[in-house]
A and B are shown apart, each in its own frame.
Chain A
Amino acid sequence: MRSSFRQANREALITLGLYVFFFLWWTVFAFGPGAGDPAEYTYVWGMPAWFFYSCVLGYPVITLLLWGVVRFFFSDMPLDGSENDSRKEDDR
């Protein structure tokens, strides 16, 4: 088993990855279909398409991804500093 500090670092990196994904999603949709002339926008559910994809759809998508990531890559760990575990790790 990994030491809990190393696992926590790994989770921080995964979070950062997810953050970058959200940034890209937001940027691509806002400045892709949103860049043109507002008179020529297409609409989804009454909203300009850029807005629908980047704002309305973007946040459920990230929440769902987050759920998956937390479910499969995050692990439960004791928080009160079980130093014994990590020592074993160091000895290996």
Chain B
Amino acid sequence: MNLVFVPLVVYLLLTLALALWSRRQTRRDAGASAIEEYFIGGRTMGGFVLAMTIIASYTSASSFVGGPGVAYTLGLGWVLLAMIQVPTTFFTLGVLGKRFAMLGRRLHAVTVTDFLYARYRSNAVVLLCSVAVLMFFAASMIAQFIGGARVFQAVTGYPYEVGLGIFGFAVVLYTTVGGFRAVVLTDALQGVVMVVAAVVVLLAVLDAGGGMAGCMQDLRAIDPGLISPSGAEGRIPAPMLFSFWILVGLGILGLPQTVQRCFGYKDSRSMHEAMILGTLIIGFLLLCMHLAGALGRAVLPDLPSGDLIIPTLILRLLPPFWAGVFVAGPVAAIMSTVDTMLLLVSATIIKDLYIRYALKNDVSNVSQKAINRMSLCCTFGVGVIVFLASFNPPQLLVWINLFAFGGLEAVFLCPIVLGLYCKSANACGAVASILTGLAVFLILSAAKISPFGILPIVPALAAAVPAFLVGNRFGRPVPEDVRKVFWEER
């Protein structure tokens, strides 16, 4: 028991040490403003860190615990579904990366909302987006905390609350202290831990199940559906499978937590490296983890809940010390998602709401030090609130998380993509698309309406795009200076 515990504690201490180290780095090159330093790390990320931070903030409890859990129940069809996410890094960076990096520098943008304000000049857009970020990030942070605490409980046998306390404390502390630099550096460490954990778990399962062929024959004997694309008992119908190409495919261009990374890298070479490296690593990670979950059914066929598969595999198949090392994988996945969201919520409150509305964008009367202190306090406060809310946990981890995913995409996808690539897009269209998309998404999700298994995000976006086009007809034309900044027109 204690042996499981040791590597976890060492790992948490390591993340804290990295955070403190990154804080010293910050002090040394204090060229950028306090806001740009704390929330975007002075735009200095290299290729490896950029790739890792996109992967780490994207892959969360659902890729490491929930996803493999569903793969355990439904089989290879769910692995196929998970592989839809392979292009995440190259798609986000390739489509938005360079334009965002250039505009981010020109506009001093730190959050996606900054970008949207500069593009649409609309308070309604800023307020809607800020509310969406606060609401959905809060939901997913809580889901992540709960997932992490469950893993901790399953592996160590200590009560749920102890786990929540320990890594809730760690995440809130290092994010508060180190800001963006600490977040991306720990993300890089966490990414490496995740990759190692994924390989070891998969190899252990293959070994225990008598090799790949042995596992597959066992799965076929349990239910032939487990080795078909449509899942056990045909529970992954094709319309559902394809609507994941929207939710975790095209829709990722509307996730503020990954899109924001496009503001923060050093140069175009870093971006090129990150595209390739990121695709290689995320594909490997997704394949290993989900395949381990699916094949786990052949090794441990009678678990009461799919969510238990990864922790149980780790505990049964590995000696205690190594189990501790490798359970750090899911814990890393969770912490690296929470830290990003925590910092973005804080950035939303400080930069998008406080500075823009309370200070009317005039920071000349406030010292850089005061802003820095405010950012720290805000990050800490939000962290504590989310942490306390996680003590009374709701069920069904993966679905809460997917709910937040869809909600963010319904709000952000059209304003981001059309704002960047459609010159005539205006605020009226953006507001119409946000309201329509969000309304359709929330109504369908709440009423659990999904004909043929189509996810609510598909009709939500299908309504948001025409709403944008209709709304656009009623808005004012894009001002000359906005066109100039965004497309260098004179």
Which of A's residues lie within 8 Å of B, judged by CB?
3-5, 7-9, 11-12, 14-16, 18-19, 22-23, 26, 30-31, 34-35, 37-39, 41, 43, 45-48, 50-51, 54-56, 58-60, 62-63, 66-67, 70, 74-77, 79-81, 83, 86-87, 90
Partner of B99, one of A5, A22, A23, A47: A5
Given contacts A66-B279, A76-B267, A79-B268, contact A22 B102 (CB under 8 A): no
21 contacts between A and B (CB under 8 A): A4-B102, A9-B421, A12-B95, A12-B98, A16-B95, A18-B90, A23-B245, A23-B249, A26-B84, A31-B238, A38-B227, A46-B213, A46-B215, A46-B216, A55-B80, A58-B83, A58-B86, A63-B276, A79-B268, A81-B106, A86-B488
Given contacts A23-B245, A66-B90, A81-B106, contact A50 B229 (CB under 8 A): yes
Question: Counting chain A CB atoms within 10 Å of each CB, which of B225, B268, B269 scores highest?
Answer: B268
**B471 on the A face (CB < 8 A):** no
Q: How far is the CA of A87 from the CA of B51 in the complex (A)?
A: 33
Asked if residues B229 and A34 are in contact (CB atoms below 8 Å), the reply is: yes
Residues of A contacting B249 in the complex (Cβ-Cβ under 8 angstroms) = 23
Task: Report B440 CB to chain A, min CB distance, Å.
Answer: 24
Q: How far is the CA of A28 from the CA of B272 in the complex (A)?
A: 28
Partner of A48, one of B83, B86, B96, B216: B216
Asked if residues A3 and B83 are in contact (CB atoms below 8 Å), the reply is: no
Asked if residues A62 and B87 are in contact (CB atoms below 8 Å), the reply is: yes
Given contacts A5-B488, A47-B212, contact A63 B279 (CB under 8 A): yes
Asked if residues A15 and B83 are in contact (CB atoms below 8 Å), the reply is: no
Residues of A contacting B95 in the complex (Cβ-Cβ under 8 angstroms) = 12, 15-16
Given contacts A48-B227, A59-B83, contact A79 B105 (CB under 8 A): yes
Q: How far is the CA of A19 from the CA of B279 in the complex (A)?
A: 12
Asked if residues B83 and A26 are in contact (CB atoms below 8 Å), the reply is: yes
Bits for B85-114, please: 1 = Cβ < 8 Å to A, else 0.
011001100111011011001100000000
Residues of B contacting A43 in the complex (Cβ-Cβ under 8 angstroms) = 213, 216
Task: Report A60 CB to chain B, min CB distance, Å.
Answer: 8
Asked if residues B276 and A48 are in contact (CB atoms below 8 Å), the reply is: no
Partner of B102, one of A46, A51, A76, A81: A81
Asked if residues A83 and B488 are in contact (CB atoms below 8 Å), the reply is: yes
Q: How far is the CA of A30 from the CA of B241 in the complex (A)?
A: 11
Q: How far is the CA of A36 from the CA of B26 in the complex (A)?
A: 58
**B224 on the A face (CB < 8 A):** yes
**B345 on the A face (CB < 8 A):** no
Asked if residues B98 and A11 are in contact (CB atoms below 8 Å), the reply is: yes
Question: Counting chain A CB atoms within 10 Å of each CB, which of B94, B215, B272, B283 scores highest?
Answer: B94
Residues of B contacting A11 in the complex (Cβ-Cβ under 8 angstroms) = 94, 98
Asked if residues B488 and A67 are in contact (CB atoms below 8 Å), the reply is: no
**B76 on the A face (CB < 8 A):** yes
Question: Counting chain A CB atoms within 10 Å of each CB, which of B105, B225, B228 scores highest?
Answer: B228
Asked if residues A47 and B83 are in contact (CB atoms below 8 Å), the reply is: no
CB-CB nearest in chain B for A45: B212
Question: Counting chain B CB atoms within 10 Å of each CB, which of A9, A58, A63, A70 scores highest?
Answer: A63
Residues of B contacting A51 in the complex (Cβ-Cβ under 8 angstroms) = 76, 79-80, 227
